[in-house]
């Protein structure tokens, strides 16, 4: 368990262990701040669930997401960052030191870096919750193996949908991408790979209205968004990749958020409260890349370090 001394004040406290949080921990450690990082439930963040990351510099052959997260962690710990396997449940940002509570402990910190990331959006259709883990998934690298020689559907048309769809072709007999538009939003290289993959098929201008089955997913009720017609599509599983929601509920009414719930920051990753910084997908609805999240985490730690230095002069 963590140090429960409520009188102890951390120089730098970081929430979240995705690329942003781990990069912040590395830079905070290099500044001799001995930063404390609360991991949350998803160690490594969304990047750790990606089978192959091919656009992170330094890995010309690509790197497994969980392996990259482990390297990030080792690098940060080497210079003195500390990881506690705790989940933050409540924060009080009304005064410094800031207070962060977990299920069993309370932490106090001079500076706080929020890198709690974002969670997958849901379809919010009948059957989705009922069949979660029984054919409904939001992570192909987590669950792809269970769909060997089966027919699966993917909802979405961005990079994540195509990356995970290509990955699923290792196992599934066929992968059908269901997209509400007439064209994909993914990058050109991914589109070319997917379009050239004989296992990948497409259903355009269509949304899923219901997920049906007995003990697991068996078929999808589809609706054409142009003419309103409906049809049934047999599937053994469905993977949903339609964007994300920032994990910011804990900070509502304390930090300034945009209309979609993302934390608003300036160029130095400063939030609306001095001493509180944010980095990664919790404040980035646009780029959402490992490299940009890591860069934001580094920037947040540098800004926090400079604030602490100015206060000690």
- CATH code, domain with 51: 3.50.50.60
Query: 143, 159, 236, 284: which is the annotated catalytic residue?
Result: 143
Whether 131 and 47 share a structural domain: no
123: tokens are: 């379809």
Q: Which domain covers residue 172, as residue numbers?
A: 122-240
Whether 131 and 230 share a structural domain: yes
> Residues in the chain, how many?
313
Whether 229 and 252 share a structural domain: no
Query: 92, 142, 258, 266: which is the annotated catalytic residue?
Result: 142
Residue 275 has pLDDT above 50, yes or no: yes
Task: Using the 3D structure, point to which of 224, 240, 256 is the last residue of a domain.
Answer: 240
Task: Using the 3D structure, point to which of 208, 240, 272 is the last residue of a domain.
Answer: 240
Model-wide pTM > 0.95 = no
Does 110 fall in a domain? yes
Please give the residue that has the higher pLDDT: either 140 or 174: 174
- Given the DSSP bridges, would you call strands 36-38 and 10-15 parallel, antiparallel or unpaired? parallel
Is residue 283 part of the annotated active site? The answer reads no
Whether 84 and 185 share a structural domain: no
φ/ψ of residue 215, rounded to 5: -90, -15
- Residue 55 — very low, low, confident or very high, per pLDDT cuts 50/70/90? confident
Q: Report, as an integer, the average pLDDT of 94-113.
A: 96
Whether 114 and 248 share a structural domain: yes
- What's the total number of domains in the chain? 2
Tell me the per-residue pLDDT of 142-197, one tens digit each, with 9 for 90 and over. Answer: 789 999 999 999 999 999 899 999 999 999 999 999 999 999 999 999 999 999 99
Residues whose CB falls within 8 Å of the CB of residue 238, separated by 6 or more in sequence, listed in order: 135, 136, 137, 152, 153, 154, 155, 208, 211, 217, 220
Among the listed residues 222, 176, 219, 179, the one whose alpha carbon sits nearest the alpha carbon of residue 199: 176
- Residue 44 — very low, low, confident or very high, per pLDDT cuts 50/70/90? confident
φ/ψ of residue 253, rounded to 5: 70, 10
Q: Where are the alpha helices (DSSP H) in the chain?
A: 19-30, 65-78, 140-143, 159-168, 188-195, 290-312
Residues whose CB falls within 8 Å of the CB of residue 114, separated by 6 or more in sequence, listed in order: 15, 16, 251, 263, 271, 276, 277, 278, 279, 282, 283
Is residue 142 part of the annotated active site? The answer reads yes
Q: Are 189 and 214 in contact (CB under 8 A)?
A: no
Whether 126 and 230 share a structural domain: yes
Q: Is 251 helix (H, G, I), strand (E, B) or coil?
A: helix
Whether 49 and 82 share a structural domain: yes
Does 5 fall in a domain? no
Whether 235 and 248 share a structural domain: no
Residue 301 has pLDDT above 80, yes or no: yes
Does 248 fall in a domain? yes
Quickly count: other Cβ atoms within 10 Å of residue 223's Cβ.
17
* Range of lowest pLDDT (37-51, 186-200, 213-227, 253-267): 37-51
CA distance 269 to 291: 16
Q: Are 273 and 254 in contact (CB under 8 A)?
A: yes
Whether 97 and 15 share a structural domain: yes
pLDDT of residue 51: 74
193: tokens are: 């790979």
């Amino acid at each position: 368990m963590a140090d429960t001394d409520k009188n102890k004040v951390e120089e730098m406290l970081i929430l979240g262990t995705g690329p942003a949080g781990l990069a912040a921990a590395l830079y905070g450690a290099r500044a001799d701040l001995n930063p404390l990082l609360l991991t949350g439930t998803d160690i490594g963040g969304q990047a750790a669930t990606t089978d192959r990351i091919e656009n992170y510099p330094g890995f010309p052959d690509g790197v497994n997401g969980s392996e990259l997260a482990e390297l990030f962690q080792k690098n940060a710990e080497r210079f003195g960052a500390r990881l506690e396997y705790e989940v933050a449940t409540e924060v009080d940002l009304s005064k410094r030191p800031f207070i962060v509570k977990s299920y069993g402990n309370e932490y106090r910190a001079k500076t706080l870096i929020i890198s709690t990331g974002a969670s997958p959006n849901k379809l919010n259709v009948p059957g989705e919750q009922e069949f979660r883990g029984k054919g409904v998934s939001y992570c192909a690298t987590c669950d792809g193996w269970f769909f060997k020689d089966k027919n699966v559907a993917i909802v979405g048309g961005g990079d994540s949908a195509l990356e995970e769809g290509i990955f699923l072709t290792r196992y599934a007999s066929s992968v059908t991408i269901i997209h509400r538009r007439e064209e994909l939003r993914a990058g050109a290289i991914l589109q070319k790979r997917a379009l050239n993959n004989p296992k990948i098929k497409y259903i355009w201008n269509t949304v899923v209205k219901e997920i049906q089955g007995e003990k697991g997913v068996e078929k999808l009720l589809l609706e054409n968004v142009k003419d309103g017609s409906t049809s049934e599509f047999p599937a053994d599983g469905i993977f949903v990749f339609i964007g994300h929601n920032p994990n910011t509920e804990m900070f509502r009414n304390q930090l300034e958020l945009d209309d979609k719930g993302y934390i608003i920051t300036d160029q130095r990753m400063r939030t609306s409260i001095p001493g509180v910084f944010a980095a990664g997908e919790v404040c980035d609805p646009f780029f959402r890349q490992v490299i940009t999240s890591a860069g934001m985490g580094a920037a947040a730690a540098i800004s926090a370090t400079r604030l602490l230095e100015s206060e000690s002069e």
